[in-house]
Amino acid sequence: MKVAVVGATGLVGTKMLEVLAERNFPVTELIPVASEKSVGKKLFFKNKEWTVVSATDAIAAKPAIAIFSAGGSTSLEWAPKFAAAGITVIDNSSAWRMDPSKKLVVPELNADALTREDKIIANPNCSTIQMVVALNPLHLKYKIKRIVVSTYQSVTGTGVKAVTQLMNERKGIQGDMAYKYPIDLNVIPQIDVFLDNGYTKEEMKMVHETRKIMRDETIRVTSTTVRIPVIGGHSEAVNVEFERDFDLREVKSLLEKAPGVVVVDNTAKQEYPMPKDAHNRDEVFVGRLRRDETQPNTLNMWIVSDNLRKGAATNAVQIAEYLLEKGLV
């Protein structure tokens, strides 16, 4: 099982390698790929040294799977070339997510849609993944009408430069800025660029991706995405309106049984999900479950997950695991 990781030296690419090793994915040969300036560098995977190669050399090596985490422009240029060589691409960028010919996959929800013919598979946005994992069991029971979500997203969602900015500010050091404004002791109500409708690209990703993954275009979604001074882990306040009424005890039971979900919801002991508790975990944590008292059939909930793991690397590796299990690669 030859596996290429494109963008292997980046923040998410490094996490991809970590997750592949942790989950004992049966990699017989790793093909790490990065930009031309990194070609020839060495990295360690499973106590062995591997040499970073170019994308062209990676295609020539004919891996079964290529996991991409090198940005949208790289994916648009290279994913079709890998796919044309018969290599199955799992892409972590936004390049292919809303392409109607490509599957957008969260294994707990819709991996059953994958076939051998799917050579470019899209990995969803981190904030969308954790939300749909938590909402899907409730959607199947009560049918979602409308979602109002506000996110509180960590700086690792931006990358190494943003982490450096935050840590520099905490130490009083002047340095490169990933954001227009300071992030320490601040929150920035903008993630990605603004669109003509006044929403950011990140906010609209959550709208469109949620409908596609949950296979229901009737779900209405509105989103506000915010960057906060936290190193890792995204949090979300979600208000969800259902067509059918629910019992809170049943909601909790459904979530407790749902794959990939951990319920942390004991207000008597002040127990609820926090980013620090989700760090280096693959589960989606859910708490603060309570009925919206202003309108019928509506639930408030708090959702937390490690954005580099379930929000990116782990979800991609889970897709690869499914493909292998079903003999699709």
Residues 106 and 142 in one domain: no
Q: What is the count of structural domains for the chain?
A: 2
Is 234 marked active-site? yes
Contact by Cβ (8 Å): 34, 9: yes
Residues 6+ apart with CB under 8 A from 218: 145
Q: What is the CATH number of the domain that holds 268?
A: 3.30.360.10
241 SS3 class: strand
Q: List the catalytic residue out of 139, 208, 234, 279.
A: 234
**208 tagged catalytic:** no
Beta bridge partners of 194: 200
| Helix 201-214 with 126-142: angle, nearest 10 deg | 40
Element counts in the chain: helices (H) and strands (E): 10, 14
153 in the same domain as 111: no
The active-site residue, picked from 126, 139, 208, 279, is 126
| Shared-domain flag, residues 171 and 145 | yes
The CATH code of the domain that includes 58 is: 3.40.50.720
Residues 83 and 152 in one domain: no
Per-residue pLDDT tens listing for the chain (329 residues): 999 999 999 989 999 999 999 999 999 999 999 999 999 999 999 999 999 999 999 999 999 999 999 999 999 999 999 999 999 999 999 999 999 999 999 999 999 999 999 999 999 999 999 999 999 999 999 999 999 999 999 999 999 999 999 999 999 999 999 999 999 999 999 999 999 999 999 999 999 999 999 999 999 999 999 999 999 999 999 999 999 999 999 999 999 999 999 999 999 999 999 999 999 999 999 999 999 999 999 999 999 999 999 999 999 999 999 999 999 99
* Domain limits for position 29: 2-124+312-325
Q: Are residues 78 and 185 in the same domain?
A: no
> 170 with 200, same domain?
yes
> Are residue 182 and residue 294 in the same domain, yes or no?
yes
Q: What is the DSSP string of 205-221?
A: HHHHHHHHHHT-TT-EE
User: Model's pTM, two decimal places?
Assistant: 0.96
Burial 126-146 (b: 16+ CB within 10 A, else e): bbbbbbbbbbbbbbeebebbe
Same domain (yes/no): 62, 135: no
